[in-house]
Amino acid sequence: MEAYLDNAATTQTFPEVCDIVKRVMMTDFGNPSSKHTKGMEAENYINEAKENIAATLKCQPKEIVFTSGGTESNNMALIGTVMANKRAGKHIITTRIEHASIHEPLAFLEEMGYEVTYLKVDRLGHIDLEELKEAIRDDTVIVSIMFVNNEMGAVEDIKKISEIIKSKNKNTLFHVDAIQAYGKYKIVPKKMGIDLMSVSGHKIHGPKGSGFLYIKENTKIRPIIFGGGQQKGMRSGTENVPAIAGLGLAAKLIYGGHSEKTEKLYELKKMLIDGLYKIGDDNKCADGSCGVVINGIDGIDIKETAPHVISASFYGIKSEVLLHALAAKGVYVSSGSACSSNHPELSGTLKAIGVSDELLDSTIRFSFSVETTKEQVEYALEVLKKQLPILKRFIKQ
């Protein structure tokens, strides 16, 4: 048996999405800029995808710009807006637990003379709203804060954050990285005060290499890719019609029966957390405490966290060792290791929420999708129960 519990990294593409991608690639393969029938067919796929996505956000189709994914959307939101609003100032606000696709563009902008304020977070991954309020200045161009943290599932109060931003400086733009939130939460940008929002297709059972940036009408933003003027000049380059068609369908499918899907995810989350604590009690530390720590849930209801992400630290066992031991048994998870050279942003997240030094390289991320089953969670717990005592031989001295 296999248990794929790494859905925050990527999801398996819906079969219906695979079908439409293949159809567009093999049959309706025209260039949407062409004026003949094949081109118009391709353009129709793009328009339908925009309408599907706009329906999930209760926004206008023209407010959707297709990209290659979350990284490009984040780069466009940050670089495009500051370049279009140079007269507004050179100050940006974000948090210490953002994804690298936020931190790296901001590092680039800092080299160009922009000043970036990085907000601290508490042990639950939440920003201090008073610190945010104090940080906003007359020259603050944009605030960028993720909706759901990709590593430990912290959920920010986006509507409240927007209210604070706009009350302090009505001209400051608010960008939300919703890559882990879209499909899990019902998001209405206008009601929540969001000016720009990034989404990635492969997190919602759509194709890799697909995504979009929601841009509220009349928001000042410049393109960062130039060329043929596609998408009204906002994102040049021949549109990836197969991926766009697949993304539009995935968006429609993921929001079908949304409440029931979310409830199922929370049931799986509780089941895994309860099982992890039981295993931790069976593998206690030397001082008698539980051998497993669940990060970011102390003292709160799990429904105050994202439904699909769990960050767990295992005393005495390096995450890389545990990850490979689980993979050998068909259980697939992600390492939350602070020492991972491929994912340096994880170190910032774990440190920011106060994970102790001894657990920084002993953390695993489990993540679900709508296709995850109870049987898979049970199997993962069964494997963990058997493997942890064996892996104790790798305990750090």
- Cβ burial of 264 (10 Å; 0-12, 13-18, 19+) is middle
- pLDDT class of 394 with cuts at 50, 70, 90: low
pLDDT at 323 over 80: yes
Q: How high does pLDDT run on average in the chain?
A: 94
pLDDT category of residue 287 using cuts at 50, 70 and 90:
confident
- The model's pLDDT over 127-151, given as tens digits with 9 standing for 90+, comes to 999 999 999 999 999 999 999 999 9
Q: How many angstroms separate the CA atoms of 370 and 187, rounded?
A: 18
pLDDT digits (tens, 9 = 90+) for 210-234: 999 999 999 999 999 999 999 999 9
Domains of the chain and any CATH numbers: 15-254 (3.40.640.10), 258-394 (3.90.1150.10)
pLDDT value, residue 333: 97
> Is the confidence at residue 334, as pLDDT, over 70?
yes
Judged against a pLDDT cut of 60, whether residue 26 lies above it is answered with yes
Q: How confident is the model at residue 396 (pLDDT cuts 50, 70, 90)?
A: very low
Pairing, β 331-332 against β 3-4 = parallel
Distances (CA, A) of 43 to 241, 249, 351: 8, 15, 47
Residue 390 is predicted with a pLDDT of: 84
**Inter-residue contact 205 to 372 (CB < 8 Å):** no
Closest CA to 325 of 394, 377, 256, 236: 394
Label residue 397 by pLDDT band (50, 70, 90).
very low
Whether the per-residue pLDDT at 126 is higher than 70: the answer is: yes
The pLDDT tens digits of the residues spanning 151-193 come to 999 999 999 999 999 999 999 999 999 999 999 999 999 999 9
**Is residue 310 within 8 Å of residue 8, measured between CB atoms?**
no
C-alpha–C-alpha distance, residues 336 and 340, integer Å: 8
Count Cβ atoms below 10 Å from residue 379 Cβ, excluding itself. Answer: 18
Annotated active-site positions, please? 339
Contacting residues for 275 by C-beta, under 8 A, at least 6 apart: 377, 378, 381, 384
The neighbour count for residue 233, using CB atoms within 10 Å, is: 13
- Predicted local confidence at residue 389, as pLDDT: 87
**What amino acid is encoded at 232 in this protein?**
K
Q: Find the angle CA(217)-CA(257)-CA(364) to the nearest 5 degrees.
A: 85
Task: Choose among 206, 249, 242, 250: nearest CA to 28.
Answer: 242
Contact between residue 45 and residue 176 where contact means Cβ atoms under 8 Å apart: no
Residue 346 predicted with pLDDT over 60: no
Separation CA 88–CA 78 (nearest Å): 14
Q: Which residues contact 167 (CB under 8 A, 6 or more apart)?
A: none
Is the backbone of residue 227 left (phi > 0), alpha (psi -120 to 50) or beta? left
Tell me the C-alpha distance between 377 and 33, whole Å: 47
Q: How far apart are CA 316 and CA 235, in angstroms?
A: 48
Which whole number is the average pLDDT over 332-348?
59
Quick: pLDDT tens for 230-262.
999 999 999 999 999 999 999 999 999 999 999
In our burial notation (b when 16+ CB lie closer than 10 A, e otherwise), range 1-37 reads eebbbbbbebbebbeebeebbeebeeebebebeeeee
Q: Across residues 335-362, what is the average pLDDT?
A: 70
Distance from the Cα of residue 94 to its chain's centroid = 15
State yes or no: pLDDT of 111 exceeds 70.
yes
Q: What is the largest CA-CA distance in the chain?
A: 74
Q: What is the DSSP letter of 9?
A: T
Report pLDDT digits (tens) over 54-98: 999 999 999 999 999 999 999 999 999 999 999 999 999 999 999
228 alpha carbon, distance to own chain's centre: 30
